[in-house]
Structure 1
Amino acid sequence: MLIVPENLIAELVTPEMALTAVEAVFAAMARGEARNFPVVREALGHEDALYGFKGGFDRSGAHLGLKAGGFWPHNLERRGLINHQSTVFLFDPDTGTPTAMVGGNLLTALRTAAASSVSIKYLARPDARVLGMVGAGHQATFQLRAALQQRRFEKVIGWNYHPEMLPNIAKVAEEAGVPFEAVPLEGMRVADVIITITSAFAPSLMADHVGPGTHLACMGTDTVGKQEVEAELVAGATVFTDEVAQSVSIGEAQHAVSAGLLSAAGITPIGAVINGAHPGRTREDEITVFDGTGVGLQDLAVAAAIVDLAVARGIAIKVDF
Structure 2
Amino acid sequence: MIIIPEREIAGLVSPADCLIAVERMFASMANKSAYNFPVVREAIGHAEALYGFKSGFDREKLLLGLKSGGFWPNNVQHGLSNHQSTIFLFDADSGRCRAVVGGNLLTALRTAAASAISIKYLARPKSNVIGVIGAGHQSTFQLRAALDQRPFEKIVAWNIDPSMLVRLEEVAKERDLPFESVDLDRLGQEADVIITITSSFKPILKASQVRPGTHIACMGTDTKGKQEVEPEILARAIIFADEITQSATIGEAQHAVEQGLITSAEITEIGAVIRGDHIGRTDAEEITLFDGTGVGLQDLAVASAAVEMAISKGVAVEVDF
Question: Does residue 1:6 correspond to 2:39, yes or no?
Answer: no
Letter in 1 for 2:50: L
C-alpha distance in 2 between matches for 1:59 and 1:235: 35
Listed one character per residue, the Cα deviations across residues 76-110 of structure 1 (whole Å, up to 9, x for unaligned) are 02x11010000000001111111000000000000
| Residue identity matched to 2:279 | P
Aligned to 1:165: 164
Which residue pairs with 1:73 in the alignment? 73
- Alpha-carbon distance in 1 for matches of 2:24, 2:83: 25
Cα distance in structure 1, aligned partners of 2:49 and 2:236: 34
Structure 2 counterpart of 1:117: 116
Residue 25 (structure 2) aligns with: 25
Normalised to the residue count of structure 2, the TM-score between the two structures is: 0.99
Alignment of 1:118-133 (within 5 A): 118-133=117-132
TM-score by length of structure 1 reads: 0.99
Where does 1:235-314 land on structure 2 (aligned, <5 Å)?
235-314=235-314
Q: Which residue matches 1:43?
A: 43
Q: SS of 1:283's equivalent?
A: coil
**C-alpha separation between the residues in 2 aligned to 1:285 and 1:266?**
19
Structure 1 residue runs without a partner (length 5+): none
SS of 1:7's equivalent in the other structure is helix
User: Aligned partners of 2:184, 2:33: CA distance in 1, in Å?
Assistant: 40
Instruction: Give the 3-state SS of the residue equivalent to 2:11 in structure 1.
Output: helix
* In 1: Cα distance, 2:18 partner to 2:251 partner: 22
Deviations 1:94-148 (CA, angstroms, capped at 9, x unpaired): 1111100000000000000000000000000000110000001100000000000
Q: Is 1:99 the equivalent of 2:95?
A: no
Q: Distance in 1 between matches of 2:132 and 2:149?
A: 15
Q: Does the residue aligned with 1:12 lie in a helix, a strand or coil?
A: coil
**Structure 2 counterpart of 1:317:** 317
| 1:288 Cα offset (Å) | 0.1
What is the one-letter code of the residue matched to 1:209?
Q
Deviations 1:175-203 (A, max 9, x none): 11111101100012210100000000000
SS in 1 for 2:89: strand
Distance in 2, Cα, partners of 1:135 & 1:209: 16
Count of aligned positions: 320
Q: CA deviation at 1:61?
A: 2.2
Task: Letter of the 1:258 partner, please give it.
Answer: E
Q: Secondary structure of 1:73's partner?
A: coil
Question: Which residue of 2 is the match for residue 183 of structure 1?
Answer: 182
Q: Alpha-carbon deviation of 1:41?
A: 0.5
**What is residue 59 of structure 1 aligned with on the other side?**
59
Paired position in structure 1 for 2:225: 225
Identity %: 64
Give the letter aligned to residue 164 of structure 2.
M
Residue 286 of structure 1 aligns to a residue whose secondary structure is: coil
CA distance in 1, matches of 2:163, 2:27: 39
Structure 1 runs (4+) deviating above 4 angstroms are: none
Gaps of 5+ in 2: none
Deviates more, 1:54-63 or 1:104-113: 54-63
Cα distance between partner residues in 2 of 1:210 and 1:182: 17
Q: Which amino acid aligns with 1:302?
A: V
The Cα of 1:162 is off from its aligned counterpart by: 0.9
- Deviation of 1:60 (Å): 1.9
d(CA) in 2 for partners of 1:236, 1:109: 29
Residues 39-90 of structure 1: per-residue CA shift (max 9 Å, x gap): 000111000000000000011222100000000000002x110100000000
Question: Equivalents in 1 of 2:105, 2:235: separation in Å?
Answer: 33
Partner of 1:202, secondary structure, is strand
RMSD: 0.5
| 2:66 alignment partner AA | L
Q: Deviations over 1:227-268 (max 9, x none)?
A: 000000111100000000000000000000000000000000
Measure, in 1, the Cα distance between the counterparts of 2:60 and 2:143.
30
State the AA in 2 paired with 1:310. A
The letter for the 1-side match of 2:101 is V
- Quote the residue 1:150 is aligned against: 149
Rounded to whole Å, the distance in 1 between the matches of 2:24 and 2:115 is 14
In 1, Cα distance between equivalents of 2:155 and 2:210: 15
Q: Which residue of 2 aligns with 1:136?
A: 135
Distance 2:61 2:113 in 1: 18
